[in-house]
Structure 1
Amino acid sequence: MVTGNGNGNHQSYQAPTDQLMRQVAAGEDWAFAQLYLSTQHAVYALLLSLVKNPATAEDLMQDTYLSIRQSVGTYIPQGKPMAWIFTIAKNLAYQELRRLSKQGAENFADHEDASGEDNISQAIDNIVLRSALTILEERERKIVLLHVAAGMKFVEIASLTETPLGTVLSSYHRAMRKLQKSVREGAVQ
């Protein structure tokens, strides 16, 4: 049902380093490209888990990397560049959710990409993705998407989200049981 990297078209997650962040801050285009390539799946998975809309997640991902490029000089090396990147992405997602909420767009599923094509469809079957976005709790969604779509290890997810490893594992297994039950019962159209 849910497989690791789908057809294998994307690399597994590689955490960025403080050295890479210094090179990005120095204006090295190759370093920014490497940062993007090594983090894009994790950032997209996080954003998708928050906004539940592939098109919005893609837009916010672009905004995230623009913001990173503009503010990388303020990054303080502490060995946690991914946490800094996730903070930027989360802040942008929450701003967008507040903006949409003010417009009365509370049901984000209504704004789904009609084509059904998105960056994550190679890693997760559309049925499971749609189910994950609707029936899973936010923590479960985030863990499943970071593990399955971004290829992150559970220990990396635990560190990044500052959640105990046991909680990450139990949340993942609970989420998988929910998804399997949903698929068996045909609850997802």
Structure 2
Amino acid sequence: MASIPRLSLSLFLIIFTIANNKYPLPVDGDPIDSVCQKTPKAFQRYCYMCFFSRPGSGSADLPTQASILINCSLVEAVRVQELRYNFCALHKNDTVTLPCVGCNGCFEIITNDLSSALQDMGTKNFRDSETKVSDAITNHQHCADLLAMSKYPIPYTLGDALGIFRGFAEVSASVVTRLIH
């Protein structure tokens, strides 16, 4: 239930960012290609996946596109939390409980960091936003490492969601970094 207020906050922050963007950075050529082609090659498909799921994102300026990417990361983080919860609820023993508790803490930090990164984007505090997205990537890796310690295989849906989250977060960090330089 806590994911609904976070999603509402994220949507509000994106709208706020778009409405208050006084100094848009133009994007040359096809805006989506311009942004996605400059992200790490291994994660470019996530850039396109995010933008194609958000109509109108191609006409947005670079800070707004970065906010859209961070929001995609946040939405996927909430999905990971739900899938992780289901996995952990199925296997209640010591070999799963410890990794699940640790992973839960990681994704609480991740969702808080990404929500805060969206706020930073709204105030054009790009450096803090990039730091929070990078911290989210680090916490994701820690969670994935903890889940790998379980004697039970990670379900495909959870593994897939972890991978998609990582892709969105990597692309977000790449685009926000471009705003700093």
TM-score by shorter chain over 0.5: no
